[in-house]
Each structure stands twice: as C-alpha cells, then as structure tokens.
Amino acid sequence: MNYYLSLVTIVISLHVVRSQEVDSTQEKHDIEGRVLAPTHDPSWISSTQVYIRGGQFIGFLKDDGSFTIKNVPTGSYVLEVVNPDYQFDPIRVEINSKGKFRARKVDYIQLSKITPLPYPLRLKTIGKIKYFQTREQWRATDLLFNPMVLMMVAPLFLIMILPRLMNDPETRKEMEQLQSMTKLDVPEMSEMLTSYFGGAPKKPKAAVKPKPSASKLQAGSSSG
C-alpha cells in the first residue's frame, strides 16, 4: 500500500514540476485596464479586485481605478471584477503568441455572439447586487381579481342586471330570436327509452274493406 502511495506522489510531483517548467518557458504579459467608479464613495476601491482563472492571477485597483495583472502567460482567460456590492460583466481576454490582446464580452447564453471591446479594458458596473428579493406590496387589484371575490360578484351581477335587460323590448326580441335559432327538435327522454328497450314502435295496420258477396252483385245486376 505504501508503495502505491509513493508512486502516486512521485507522479504528481513530476507533473507539477513539468507544468512549472512549461510556464517558465512561456512569455509573460501584463493585462491592463480600468474599473469605472460605480459610486462616489472611495471605499469601493479597497473592496474590489480583478480575478483571472478564479483568483489564480489577481489585480488590485489603484486610486484612479486602474489595475495591472502581471506575468500572465499566452492564452485565453476570463477576467472578472469582484465586488460585494456591485456586479460586472465577465470579459474574455485573449493573448496570442505575438503579445497582441483581444477582448470581448462573455455571453453564456449565445456562445456564438461576439461583442469586441477596446483594450486597455474599461469596465463598468451593470448594477447593484440584489441579495434579497423585494417583498410584494398589497394592492387593491389583488382583492378585486381574487377568484373567490369573482365567484361572489358574478352571480350578483347577473341577478341585478339581467332582469333589467329583459325588460328592454329590443333585448327581449333579440333573446327570443336567439332561442328560436338554437331550438332543436329533440325527442323526449321517455320516447327514446321506450324505443331503445322495447324496439321500434309498431305501425298501425290499415283497415281492410270487406269485399261484396256474389249474391249482392247479382241483385244489383238484375235491378239494373
């Protein structure tokens, strides 16, 4: 067991040493910029820092809001301004092998959208950080649009307004026309049940007239 632990420790130490050697051979650069004052209170400067790679490289602000992050290798980095009261948009800074800088906004929703920014950087706050949600205030409309209130008011409205509308002759005439248009020839329920359980109703037989007898026919012919 101790043999495996020693082997893992040696591999990790070799990896760290190799990464340090690679970093030492890369060319270092300085990222410069300025954070615009979000307030007139000068205390915001001491509580604001500029992070790259989550704090691997840190820049501190001067009295005028400018900063310099030194010894940054070639590559692409996300720069963040950290302040407990104000929020800033993250910026991606790319440094090529020739030492040229290119900055753009970071859009985590539309990754293909590129908004270039000037360099040296000029960072501006997008607003104060809201740690708490604003409590909703009571309004009169909340009571009026309450479902229980609507269920009570709607029948009362029908009871009070509908009779007055029915007294109007024009409204009554329109209601009668609507009723006549929507009236359907629906059979009674008793007839439907009788026809369903008892079969189709039998049609009454037509009355058969009796044929005259032969004696009556002879009497009629003799009299003629």
Nearest Cα to 121, choosing from 80, 63, 76? 80
- Domains of the chain listed by start with CATH number: 25-127 (2.60.40.1120), 137-180 (no CATH)
Residue 22 pLDDT grade (very low, low, confident, very high; cuts 50, 70, 90): very low
What is residue 134's predicted lDDT score, i.e. its pLDDT? 80
Choose the most confident range, by mean pLDDT, from 68-82, 189-203, 210-224.
68-82
191 has pLDDT over 60: yes
What ranges make up the beta strands (E) of 11-132? 28-35, 49-52, 57-60, 66-73, 75-82, 86-88, 91-95, 101-105, 116-117, 121-123, 125-128
Residue 196 confidence (pLDDT): 65
Say yes or no to pLDDT of 16 above 60. no
**pLDDT 10s digits, 62-109:** 999 999 999 999 999 999 999 999 999 999 999 998 889 999 998 878
83-102 residues labelled b (16+ CB within 10 A) or e (exposed): beebebeebbbebeeeeeee
CA 127 from centroid of its chain's CA atoms = 23
Q: For residue 61, which of 50, 70, 51, 77 has the smallest C-alpha distance?
A: 50
Q: Which pLDDT score, from 0 to 100, does residue 159 have?
A: 77
CA distance 73 to 27: 6
